[in-house]
Amino acid sequence: MFRAKYNKMDAMLIPLALLFFIFFVIPFIMLLYNSFLTYTGKVEPGLPITVQNYIKFFKDSYYPAVIGRTFYISIVTTLMVTVLAYPLAYFMAGIKGYLKTIMLVLVTLPLISGVMVQNMGMYGMMTNYGTINLFLMALHIIEEPVQLLGNNIAVIIGLTQGFLPFMILPVMNALQAIPENVLQASESLGANKVRQFLHITLPMSFGGCIAGAVLVFGASLSSYTTPTILGRGKCQVIGTVVYQQAMQLFNWPFASSIAMLLLLLILLIVPITKILSRRRREGGVL
């Protein structure tokens, strides 16, 4: 039988593992436990142990609608991000030198300057006398300012902008990994640019698209700040409901059960996409 050998060096993992145990593992255990407790009206949840919180979520007609809206927003966001990111990633895969450096800096800038700055700019542009309304009025497309904030579309636009880098980088890497001689071979066999793109470039970058799509879809499902700021409280998704229950109504057991369901959804995505990409590989495109 295989017996694991422990190295003296392994002890150097203990401080970090301890920190993770206290501040990361225990909160998840607490979450699971509290999701089965009863709301007492006070902050501290109490006994008896029950599954009422989970039943409440599916019984009430309000919460399935929230799940539906969250999925709708996440799916549309993922599709929009894929469509928009692909040409930019294709462009970036084909350049070198200073231009490439500049592009990489610009593409990663929204990612590292933080979600707050992105939301702030989007919010400012979408207000009644913000950039978009002024622009449309200057072109005489509209005469009066249009209410842009506070609906699903505003949230989708905000999420799409914020998550674009998640798709651009993996797709760019996948495109760069395509060997030059494969393209040359197809050319020598008489394929034109369109056929080359459809039969080589697109299938060979599919893995990058899937990797990006998983990130974008998962991040959209659990998004919270963008729906709050751009949705102005009118766009309730799973994340905002969790916040409401935990921080405003102090119904911790219910907040915990919704959070557990969200966690379950996220953990389900990974195996599904693995199956998807494997089927693609076995499909025999190259």
Partner 1 sequence: MKLRKLFPKLLLVLVAFCVLLFLLSPIIAVVGGSFNDGGYFAFPPKSVSLRQYRAALTNKEHLESLAASLKVATYSTVVASLLCVPACVALAKTSNPIVNKVKTLFMAPIFLPGIVWAVGLLQCMGFLRIQGSLAILICVHTVIVTPYMIRIVGASMDNFNYTLEDAAASLGAPPLTTFFRITLPNIMSGIVVGMVFSFMISFSDVVITLFVSSSSFTTFPVRVYAAMRTEGLDPMVLAYSAIIIVVVLSISILGEKFAHWSKHFSTML
Between 13 and 185, name the residue whose CB sits nearer to partner 1: 13
Q: Which of residues 51-110 bind partner 1 (CB under 8 A)?
A: 84-85, 87-88, 90-92, 101, 103-110
Site string for partner 1, 108-147 (x = CB under 8 A): xxxxxxxxxxxxxxxxxx-x-xxx----------------
70, 82, 201, 228: which one contacts partner 1 (CB under 8 A)?
228
**With binding defined as CB under 8 A, does residue 5 bind partner 1?**
yes
CB of 254 to partner 1, least distance (A): 11
224, 244, 273, 280: which one contacts partner 1 (CB under 8 A)?
224
Q: Which of residues 204-223 bind partner 1 (CB under 8 A)?
A: 211-212, 215, 218, 221-222
Between 4 and 141, name the residue whose CB sits nearer to partner 1: 4
Q: Extract the tokens encoding 223.
A: 């998004």
Residue 233: phi, psi to the nearest 5?
A: 80, -5
Residue 213 makes CB contacts below 8 A (sequence gap 6+) with 78, 81, 82, 167, 273
Contact yes or no for 285/203 (Cβ under 8 A): yes
Residue 70 makes CB contacts below 8 A (sequence gap 6+) with 220, 221, 237, 238, 239
Q: Extract the tokens encoding 161.
A: 């902008």
CB of 43 to partner 1, least distance (A): 6
Would you list the DSSP string of 75-117?
A: HHHHHHHHHHHHHHHHHHHT--HHHHHHHHHHHHHHHHH-HHH
**With binding defined as CB under 8 A, does residue 15 bind partner 1?**
yes
**With binding defined as CB under 8 A, does residue 227 bind partner 1?**
no
**With binding defined as CB under 8 A, does residue 161 bind partner 1?**
yes
Rounded distance, CA 82 to CA 167, Å? 7
